[in-house]
Amino acid sequence: MKIVVLGGGVTGMFISYYLRKDGHSVTLIDAPLDGARTSKYNSGEITPSGVPVPTIGMGLILSRYFGRMGPIYVSPSVFLKNLRWFGIARKKMLGGYEEQIMGLAAKSLEIYKGFFNEVEMEIDRIEGITALFTEFSQVKEYAQKWGGQIIDQSEAYNMGYTGFAGGVRFSEEFSIHPGKLFDGLRKKLTEMGVQMILDKPADLKKVNGSVKCVVTDIGEVTGDNYVITAGAWTRKICVSLGYDPLILPARGLVMLFDTGGVRIVKETAMIEGNGISISQHNPNLLRVSSYFEIVGFKQSFDESRKKWVMGRVRPHLVGFDKLKLTKIEEGIGYRPCTPDQFPVIGKLPGYQNVFIASGNCRLGVTLAPATALVLRAMIDGKQPEEIDSKYVDPSRFVM
Ligand SMILES: Cc1cc2nc3c(=O)[nH]c(=O)nc-3n(C[C@H](O)[C@H](O)[C@H](O)COP(=O)(O)OP(=O)(O)OC[C@H]3O[C@@H](n4cnc5c(N)ncnc54)[C@H](O)[C@@H]3O)c2cc1C
């Protein structure tokens, strides 16, 4: 079969990988949009335990509609233009998010392990992910609910973090340098013979109720099937085909610092109270990421917002005052978020030859391989093994 994949982030690349492995002819079309590269600028955590993050749950986001508090913000104008999205988010149309998505993420973690055994790729992998808390009661509560190994203040200190009562460590999880995964996947796809059309914004052309081709400024690309996996931009493409997947962008900021060769933190951690992730994937590079802002595609962060993050990071890194950190890079990512927190994977309602795979929001890196396998099963006309398809059914948003 000839399959055209529109969107070359981590989801589109894993989809292309598995479809090509099955012997399909695959064309991947991608262009960076709105100054972002979400699949490069993220925290790189492959983390089923990240699913139920208590401080960035949708309930909390919604309770802070209009207040700029900490890392979470919803702009009033986006809220007013998307009342249906926020209405569903409040009611949570589908229940069981945590259990189902943790299960999907656990499968994805296993797929990743198999993938990295099979495909050689330099990704600066660091084992273990820890959620850190300032109150020990929070540590106990979290571990009781979600498992993991409790660590105390001194163990957190040994990892390079200070000012915490302790944390919950998930040793089977890991983090990677997402930019290296991105580049590695692109290289692998090229070697496998996936045709890449890069840096060309594209549109789908519809004729008589079915998609005829993808159009870029260098011409038209035809296929037997089309996959829309365009991250936070998926909604725009789908709406032009008469379907609304209710995906909103939630932007975040990533800052990369040169540590001058000093290993500052040994393991990746989430500072739970502040929604900040810290990791050091190699001796020179410290990664700090934060913010979950539903403000549309807004391309810059004020200096005060960057200072806010570093103001929260500083007291929590051992010996920060003596450290020399030089910011060398920063980037914005737009998480593709549905209101019920389940992705949308499956046939586009009303179409036989178009599929959608998007909406993994905060966990798109973690969930990309499992999402790809779910979609692959659907293209083959099979029931996916990774999740009950009702949870990801695109038609749940059709009125
Ligand atoms: C600060 C931050 C931290 C994060 N940390 C983690 C983490 O630790 N672990 C985790 O699992 N997830 C994390 N995420 C979420 C994760 O990064 C995203 O969910 C994931 O990258 C989404 O991948 P995607 O391939 O679906 O979309 P994208 O990466 O957005 O890829 C879609 C691509 O399609 C392109 N495109 C769109 N429309 C068109 C068009 N018309 N023509 C051509 N190209 C088009 C876009 O430009 C883009 O390149 C984080 C996100 C942020 C912002």
User: How far, in Å, are 39, 125, 287, 308 from residue 300 at the CA level?
Assistant: 18, 29, 18, 15
What's the domain range around 103? Answer: 2-397
Q: Ligand 1: residues whose CB is within 6 Å?
A: 7-12, 29-33, 38-39, 42-45, 201-202, 229-233, 237, 252, 254, 289, 333, 335-336, 358, 360-366
Q: Which of 13, 40, 43 to mutate to test the pocket of ligand 1 (most atoms within 8 A of CB)?
A: 43
Return the pLDDT at 65: 47
Return the pLDDT at 59: 57
Tens-level pLDDT at each residue, the chain (399 residues) = 999 999 999 999 999 999 999 999 999 999 999 999 999 999 999 999 988 765 445 555 555 544 555 788 899 999 999 999 998 888 765 667 888 999 999 999 999 999 999 999 999 999 999 999 999 999 999 999 889 999 999 999 999 999 999 999 999 999 999 999 999 999 999 999 999 999 999 999 999 889 999 999 999 999 999 999 999 999 999 999 999 999 999 999 999 999 989 899 999 999 977 789 999 988 899 999 999 999 999 988 999 999 999 999 999 999 887 778 898 999 999 999 999 999 999 999 999 999 999 999 999 999 999 999 999 999 999 999 999 999 999 999 998
Return the pLDDT at 274: 75
CA gap 91, 66 in Å, rounded: 19
CA 23 – ligand 1 centroid, Å: 26
For residue 99, give both structure tokens.
């259990």
Residue 393: give its domain's CATH number.
3.50.50.60
**Calculated CA dihedral for residues 341, 344, 350, 352, nearest 10 degrees:** -170
Q: Which of 49, 335, 337, 375 to mutate to test the pocket of ligand 1 (most atoms within 8 A of CB)?
A: 335
CA gap 255, 332 in Å, rounded: 9
Q: Which of 6, 13, 28, 42 to mutate to test the pocket of ligand 1 (most atoms within 8 A of CB)?
A: 42
Atom 31 (ligand 1): residue with closest C-alpha?
9
Q: Are 385 and 377 in contact (CB under 8 A)?
A: yes
- Identify the CA nearest to 163 among candidates 269, 19, 75: 269
Return the pLDDT at 108: 98
CA 369 – ligand 1 centroid, Å: 14
CA 37 – ligand 1 centroid, Å: 7
Beta bridge partners of 133: 166
Domain count within the chain: 1
To which H or E segment does residue 277 belong? strand 276-282
> Rounded to two decimals, what is the model's pTM?
0.96
Alpha-carbon dihedral sign for residues 274, 276, 280, 286: negative
Return the pLDDT at 53: 62
